Amino acid sequence: MSEAPHLLVEENGAVIVCTLNRPEKLNALTGQTMRLFEEALHKFRDTAELKVMLIRATGRFFCAGADLRDKTGEPEAPANTATAIREKHRLRLHGMHRIYDEMEHIEKPIVVAHQGTCVGGGLELSLSCDFRLAAKSASYAFPEGKFGVLPASNGVSRLTRYVGPHWARYLIMANKPADADRAYTMGLVHEVYPDETFDADAMEFCEHLAKQNSEQMGAAKVAIEMAHELGRDQARHVERMANSALMLNPDYLAMMEKYVSNIGSKGKS
């Protein structure tokens, strides 16, 4: 009997849904998982009708991190110098860095929904998503500290940008877990939903995103990322540059004409 696919992919209207599907292995990430996910990511990127990607999981864990026993596609010789280890993080690990970069660069929203425990590599993948949603029973941790190392595939860089050094120290240096409510307080997740309605709430959130203007959504994703890296004055230039294109969009012009017309009609009544 063949093993079930490590990732299930389906389309729900304008939403492409990727489901981690190794509940018996706590959805640990494998080479197969990442290969199937990258294929789905490219389909999402290249298909105009798909507006939102939702990443979710089956079972009691969202993801327990990378499957350390899975060596598919990895070199047989272990990395035994500091340079080799750095290059392994950058180029190997089933292409995680390349995939995470692409997630951040695609000008469409990516949502991750944590129904349960999310740790290590699963949390690092989630940090490249635009929106993180938590069920009440979700929890978060970086167990790498127990082994005397750092989470080095988004774990320090992205986490610190989102929650600041104050909470990054708590998760990484103190090696303390966070439940869903504390993750919300940190700014790690955007919403916490009841377990009983979580799947429906997450899909409703995605469907709301799918209704937004695609051009505005893409420009906002790029502009927000750039503005975060720049000083206030340069960030204002980013705003103006983005709007100089958006305000020539026929959809915007038509909506503004209708809006102004409606105001005029009300003023005459």
Catalytic choice (38, 144, 239, 257): 144
Q: Is 154 left (phi over 0), alpha (psi -120 to 50) or beta?
A: left
Alpha-carbon distance 149 to 161, whole Å? 20
Catalytic residue among 124, 204, 229, 239: 124
How many CB atoms are closer than 10 A to CB 88? 15
144 as an active site residue: the answer is yes
Look up 102 and say whether it is catalytic.
Answer: no
Question: Apex CA 46: angle with CA 41 and CA 48, to 5°?
Answer: 115
CA distance 187 to 63: 20
Q: Rounded to whole angstroms, how far apart are CA atoms 247 and 195?
A: 41
Residue 133's DSSP bridge partners are: 113, 191
Closest CA to 137 of 120, 119, 115, 122: 115
Angle at CA 104, nearest 5°, toward 99 and 106? 90
- Which residues does the annotation mark as catalytic? 124, 144
